[in-house]
Chains A and B, each alone.
Chain A
Amino acid sequence: MSLAALSQAIASTPNPVVSTDLFDTVLLRDHTTETQRLAKAARRAGVLLGVDPDVVVKLRWTCHDSAYRAVAMERPGGEATLQAICRTMASAMGLDDRAAAVLLDTEVSVDIEHLRANRRLTAVLRRARTAGARVVAVSDTYYSGRELRRILNAVVGDAPIDAVYSSADLGRTKHAGGIFDLVAEAEAVPVSRILHVGDDHPADVVRARAASWVPIHLPRGGAYRAVATTGRVLGMPSRLRRLR
């Protein structure tokens, strides 16, 4: 699929709601891996908080893994939140909520440094909005809607998006499929009028189609995938350190 296919789908759907994935769709990541970005943020936060940066890095992974395990144990198909992860990290270090805010702020800032806007897609979304379509974002992420808005403002500027739905806020995900019905209900439109664009085939295409939305697959290009693969290979030492 391509942006032309998206434009065509928007034009041929009466009063559409255009839903878009955010990460690697509207917000394009660079070659870095999640392991590298989280380590960078944790080290920076460690310096700000006066805590051994290596301990903060390790604690970040421990809390990350524990948060997702806890969600899987208690409510499969749910989502962890970065706020809870940061509060737990601060608590484990004997620090207060101000430290949790520093951890969260640092992580959002580092993520912003490694993202750029997909200008071609945002141009399509802007035209759709001007033509009367409502544009929403649906993201599987531990960021809240408020944090996603901050990232969008910093990376895209005036993003042509009317509403942001985060799995962290709604407690349901695209990967498990539960979020689609919640968004459709919130938007109060027939599901056949919701077009959804995203890069992840299982979540953005298979699950969206299962919810009777109209999916449009927009994968990252081959060049990016090659660079990302190289990044993953280069990041192997830090992944191995994490596993030990």
Chain B
Amino acid sequence: MQLAYERFLQATALPSAVRISPLMVSRLVAVRPTLQRSLEEGLPTLLPAATAALTTEFRRGTIADVFRAVTGVSPEQGDQRWNADFTPAGLLELLRQPHGAAGATALAEQAQLFTRHLREVLGDRRTAVLVDTGLFGTTQDLLAEGLPDLNISCALMVRSLRPKIAGVDPRTFGLSVEAFDYSPIRARTAVLRYWHYIEWLFEPDLPSVRTFVTEDGRVRSNLEVTGWPDRVEPAPESAFAGVLHYLDGLGPGPAEQISADADRAWRRYRRIVVWPHREDGDVLAVGTRSHDFGRAATWDQPTVHSVVAALRGNPMWREGEVARSGSPFRAPLLLALEAAHAARLARRMVRRGRRTGPGEPLQQ
């Protein structure tokens, strides 16, 4: 995303007063300062953003699963409490016990190294805008909670709205789309039907940030492998190379062109994502995507293409799987999926309307 932004500024000669720096961050490393804050302040449970993030990510996990993910240390066996379902208070309690000491030490060290990296990137600044490929702004929530002396907000291409978390002041903004759900009358919200493609498009082939070490007096993340900046450049003929090619072709004062191109592009994107043909399904396939947050779990593109497989479970792009199956019922199945999304949108709008009451905005 940084590369695309820099190429856009270069091509259009538009001025920008913003200092841009790469930040080595992920939800995993962003949760550590807030966990550490809870430990250092002697709190009985985790703070709200950390609670929400870990509860969502480890809905069926044990305390041991969460401990392993956030500390990188496997818990000592022998205490059945490790195998209990994850609760924020339970995690904190075990981090404070002697048999959680190794993990607590690793957590403290990693939180300190990440905080040092962030402060090195910011220099004497206290205001930062995190630009992320994410969808919810969880990273910003966690950073703001763990490092309350900083003024951190977040810009996403697309923000999927979610119910407010008590105690969390979300300062995340979707630049192209902000919506609760896909809406058939808003072409741009089609990205919410297949977010993984946008994430895949902008994320270089580099590992997610998990750990930091000090090397020659500076903090280095596991992402910063030898030659990593070169791997940000796209492969020839790739989709991202096409993005950069378009941006490079923009001249000064491109608003008219971009406006027309964007309308056309969103309409085409919606058509392809919502009503894909078989070749669309192949072209937009992204392979394997990681769930991340310190886990090995992934979303995988099915190797066997069948309608049954497409309609079961939680695939990255159900419509694409239907198209790739080659089923003669492609059109009615896609129509049924579209109707189901429309019905879900209507149901959720009614439910939100009831919650907020008449005349009140859903969000400000």
Chain A interface residues (CB < 8 Å from chain B): 51-52, 55, 58-59, 66, 69, 72-74, 76, 89, 91-95, 240, 243-244
Tell me the B99-126 residues at the A interface (CB within 8 Å): none
> Which A residues touch B153, using CB under 8 A?
72-74
Q: Which of B70-78, B235-243, B248-256, B297-305 contacts A (4 or more CB under 8 A)?
A: B248-256
> Which B residues touch A58, using CB under 8 A?
259
B171 touches A73 (CB 8 A): yes
CA distance A69 to B251 in the complex (A): 26
Could you tell me the distance in whole angstroms from the C-beta of B219 to the nearest C-beta in chain A? 26
Q: Is B188 among interface residues, defined by CB-CB distance under 8 A?
A: yes
Tell me the B149-170 residues at the A interface (CB within 8 Å): 151, 153-155
The listed residue (A66, A76, A244) touching B188 by CB distance below 8 A is A244
B253 touches A94 (CB 8 A): yes
Given A73-B153, A73-B171, A94-B252: A244 in contact with B185 (beta carbons within 8 A): yes
Could you tell me the distance in whole angstroms from the C-beta of A63 to the nearest C-beta in chain B? 9
Q: Is B186 among interface residues, defined by CB-CB distance under 8 A?
A: yes
CA distance A91 to B252 in the complex (A): 9
Could you tell me the distance in whole angstroms from the C-beta of A49 to the nearest C-beta in chain B? 11
Chain B residue nearest in CB terms to A240: B185
Could you tell me the distance in whole angstroms from the C-beta of A133 to the nearest C-beta in chain B? 35
> Which B residues touch A244, using CB under 8 A?
185-188
Chain B residue nearest in CB terms to A58: B259
> Which A residues touch B2, using CB under 8 A?
none
B188 touches A94 (CB 8 A): no
CA distance A145 to B259 in the complex (A): 32
The 26 sampled A-B contact pairs (Cβ below 8 Å) are A55-B255, A55-B256, A59-B255, A59-B259, A69-B155, A69-B173, A69-B175, A72-B171, A72-B173, A73-B129, A73-B154, A74-B127, A74-B129, A76-B171, A89-B255, A91-B15, A92-B254, A93-B256, A94-B251, A94-B253, A94-B254, A95-B253, A243-B186, A244-B186, A244-B187, A244-B188
4 A-B pairs with the lowest CB-CB distances in the bound complex, closest first? A94-B253, A73-B153, A92-B255, A69-B173
A93 touches B173 (CB 8 A): no
Give the one of A66, A69, A94 with max B CB within 10 A. Answer: A94
> Which B residues touch A59, using CB under 8 A?
255, 259
Could you tell me the distance in whole angstroms from the C-beta of B13 to the nearest C-beta in chain A? 9
